[in-house]
Chains A and B, each alone.
Chain A
Amino acid sequence: MSLTLEDVARIALLSRIELSPAERESTRDQLNGILGFIEQLQAVNTTGIEPMAHAVDVVQRLRPDAVTETDRRADFQAVAPETEAGLYLVPRVVE
């Protein structure tokens, strides 16, 4: 199975990465090259094999529900592209 230009446009949309029409073609070829390479996984019989999400089998640790962080909003917002009065600014989304 190989990707079409429409597939590439859809994946780019899901990824929130703008691709120009010219980039779409080279991207399609590269992605198809990689997908062709990973296609060999399909030939392996994995019936009854439990998927392995993690290298170490441990249970998620819980912590007491207590405040541990101090307020560092000013520090963290100092590296933001645009802020005002403690808020992050983005283009208007609700008219």
Chain B
Amino acid sequence: MSDLFNSSLRQLAATLTARKISAVELATLFLDRIDRLNPGLNAFIALDRDKTLAQARAADEKLNAGAGGTALTGIPLAHKDIFCTKGWRTSCGSKMLENFVSPYDAHVVEKLAGAGMVTLGKLNMDEFAMGSSNETSHFGPVKNPWDVSRVPGGSSGGSAAAIAARLAPAATGTDTGGSIRQPAALCGLTGLKPTYGAVSRYGMIAFASSLDQAGPMAKSAEDCALLLNAMAGFDPRDSTSLERPTEDYARDLEKPLAGLRIGLPKEFFGDGMDADVRAAVDAALDEYRKLGAITVEVQLPNSGLSVPAYYVIAPAEASSNLSRFDGVRYGYRAPEYSDLAEMYSRSRAQGFGAEVKRRILIGTYVLSHGYYDAYYLKAQKIRRLIAADFQEAFKVCDVIMGPTSPSVAFAFGAKSADPVQMYLSDIYTISTNLAGLPGMSLPCGFGNNNMPVGLQIIGSWFGEAKMLNVAHQYQRVTDWHTRMPKESK
């Protein structure tokens, strides 16, 4: 039975297609496991057995008919609670949306359901995706299944913990500054943030629109490729969705890596990284050399500016996006107020948590009269310098590698008192969002206290198939991605 929980999506699909197990039975196994293990982890914040089993029954009908199924039909997955899911509470981790039942499906939700996947539930997250530890969720923090005294990372911490504990074989995540990759690293799984514009943002609650991108989180690169096949594609409802020919992201998985040029930015291998993380990343690079890859040093001289530039751009966009929460059309409304202005300001004061309010205030300030040029415009110019560095680097390499996170998962409370310390958790991931590049994290060993370490792969624009190839070849010769925490066995 535990084999099933640790199975790849391909193995699950084969078991389902051979009718050795039904989609209803498979969903029930996962739901029972969630009932047993979730109270200790707090990864799921909405469950609805009837809805899940109805979807599973529909998948079984397709599978029984022997036609109409896809590679994903009947496979369960769970959605980060940032994705609007029709008929499900969609809270975005906030009191503001505690009672919001979405009247429609996000594009990603629609596509994955259309592929026959079965929704197990909705996953906890940092409030409005603002956080790197899941401590900002209105519904309480998610625990890291490898050590429940430590954070799972954020903001897609519920997605990461659910997969790490094998409560779901796959999940959706979103990544604005590292929110797929950092929790994937801290929980020992594989996650991919696609090129900006590859996956529709329709129905994904907006944080920073020029940076937000949805992507798959799963155990392996192969699983991520199959999920991305179902998630990506043009959607006219997202004005930044790109019209490109349909791609099979799994097409290059089996290509050998001989001659692959891996760029190692010297800025990613400086003092900022903990020794245990460095050891695991170095060992992974050795493995790649054995596979025939060569490593070359590259420079990203402006990458050190990515965190401060991000903390101008992201809050600016957030302050604008979150102005829609006014207590009028949906969301929380304060119980007492004397006029309209007070209704707005009290609803927002009571409905948003501390970190969200901080970012709205910062964003409002950097966009306000007299400060726009000094902060916002300046940060946008630096954003171009950061993107240009990558363009230069990709002239001499095929992919870039480095650590995903400077440290393994930290203890609860370790960084929550100092916002800037928390922001620096994303020091290696933020630059790819600013440049719009695809990035992924895959497990590459264990560091201090037996906590997982993530290797980051950054690809050139639309380089997802290449990155998945590079990750898959590593996972063919290593087994880090199959390891699971003790309590989850």
- Residues of A that sit less than 8 Å from B by CB: 3, 7-8, 11-19, 27, 30-31, 33-35, 37-42, 44, 46, 49-56, 58, 60-61, 63, 72, 75-76, 78-82, 88, 90-91, 93
Contacts and interface: CB of A to CB of B under 8 A. Distances in A.
A17 B360 contact: yes
B242 A63 contact: no
Lowest 8 CB-CB distances: which A-B pairs, in order? A55-B436, A51-B380, A52-B384, A46-B381, A81-B333, A18-B349, A55-B196, A18-B345
17 contacts: A11-B365, A31-B365, A33-B418, A34-B419, A37-B420, A38-B308, A38-B309, A39-B308, A40-B305, A41-B382, A46-B385, A50-B384, A51-B384, A56-B197, A56-B436, A81-B332, A91-B340
A27 B357 CA distance: 9
B387 A61 contact: no
B351 to A, nearest CB: 10
B179 to A, nearest CB: 16
A37 B361 contact: no
B383 interface: yes
A44 B329 CA distance: 43
A80 B330 contact: yes
B311 A49 contact: no
A41 B379 contact: yes
Nearest to A83: B329
Interface residues of B, number: 73
A69 to B, nearest CB: 10
Contacts of B383: 51-52
Nearest to A44: B382
Given A11-B361, A42-B378, A33 B420 contact: yes
Given A19-B349, A90-B340, A91-B337, A52 B381 contact: yes
B288 interface: no
B382 A16 contact: no
A52 B384 CA distance: 5
B101 interface: yes
A46 B361 contact: no
B239 A60 contact: yes
A7 to B, nearest CB: 8
Contacts of B197: 55-56, 58
Chain A interface helix/strand/loop/mixed: loop
Interface in B313-336: 319, 323, 326-333
B327 A41 contact: no
B239 A61 contact: yes
Interface string B203-241: 000000011000000000000000000000000100110
Interface in B327-383: 327-333, 337-346, 348-349, 352, 357-358, 360-362, 364-365, 368, 374-375, 377-383
A55 B460 CA distance: 12
B468 interface: no
B284 interface: no
Given A37-B420, A88-B328, A91-B339, A31 B361 contact: yes
B420 A41 contact: no
Contact of A41 (B211, B312, B364): B312
Given A16-B341, A53-B210, A38 B375 contact: yes
Nearest to B304: A40
Nearest to A72: B103
Given A17-B349, A34-B311, A55-B434, 18 more contacts: A15-B364, A16-B326, A16-B348, A17-B345, A27-B357, A37-B308, A37-B311, A41-B379, A55-B435, A56-B195, A58-B240, A58-B242, A61-B236, A72-B103, A81-B330, A82-B333, A88-B329, A90-B343
B381 A27 contact: no
A90 B347 CA distance: 12
B419 A33 contact: yes
B211 to A, nearest CB: 8
A27 B305 CA distance: 24
Nearest to A43: B305
A91 to B, nearest CB: 5
B100 interface: yes
Interface string B73-100: 0000000000000000000000000011
Contacts of B323: 16
A74 to B, nearest CB: 9
Interface string B277-312: 000000000000000000000000010010111011
